[in-house]
């Protein structure tokens, strides 16, 4: 389901409007918004409230899904170094990692929801 998303640019104050997919939480849509006036970009995560007609959004200058993926790669690299050092000493280490990273919000209707950003399986 696409829905019109209107916002004001943080840099120049220009009004922008774009149609975005609005999947129901815990699914989300991630995109980079570009101001039609000054060209400034910002990242947005949007999700539709499962209980009403509203949507919830997170605006950030960084890409949250890329940040989660980068952190996962960093942690896997560090965990693998730990596992390798333990193996040299004859120990076995098993580390379970979650499949997703939740980000919670409360819709104006009062519904508590969270989106689930997938964490890549890198091992």
pLDDT band for 42, please (50, 70, 90 cuts): confident
Mean pLDDT for 12-31 is: 92
Helix (H, G, I), strand (E, B) or coil at 119: coil
Mean pLDDT for 11-21 is: 93
**62-112 pLDDT, tens per residue?**
677 777 778 777 777 777 788 888 888 888 777 677 788 888 999 999 999
From residue 11, give the alpha-carbon distance in Å to each of 19, 31, 41, 120: 21, 18, 9, 33
Confidence at residue 122, expressed as pLDDT on a 0 to 100 scale: 61
Confidence at residue 70, expressed as pLDDT on a 0 to 100 scale: 80
Confidence at residue 91, expressed as pLDDT on a 0 to 100 scale: 81
Domain ranges for the chain = 2-118
Structure token pair of residue 38 = 């000054």
> Whole-angstrom Cα distance, residue 107 to residue 52?
9
Mean pLDDT for 35-45 is: 91
Q: Which residue has the higher pLDDT, 60 or 30?
A: 30
Cα separation of the two ends of the chain: 35
Confidence at residue 112, expressed as pLDDT on a 0 to 100 scale: 93
């Amino acid at each position: 389901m696409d829905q019109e998303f209107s916002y004001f640019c943080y840099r120049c104050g220009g009004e922008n409007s774009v149609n975005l997919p609005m999947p129901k939480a815990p699914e989300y849509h991630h995109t980079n918004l570009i101001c039609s006036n000054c060209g400034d970009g910002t990242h947005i995560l949007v999700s539709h409230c499962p209980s009403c007609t509203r949507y919830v959004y997170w605006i950030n200058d960084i890409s949250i899904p890329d940040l989660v993926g980068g952190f996962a790669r960093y942690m896997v690299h560090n965990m693998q170094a730990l596992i390798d050092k333990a193996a040299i000493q004859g120990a076995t280490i098993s580390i379970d990692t979650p499949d997703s990273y939740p980000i919670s919000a409360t819709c104006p209707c009062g519904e508590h929801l969270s989106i689930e950003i997938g964490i890549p399986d890198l091992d």
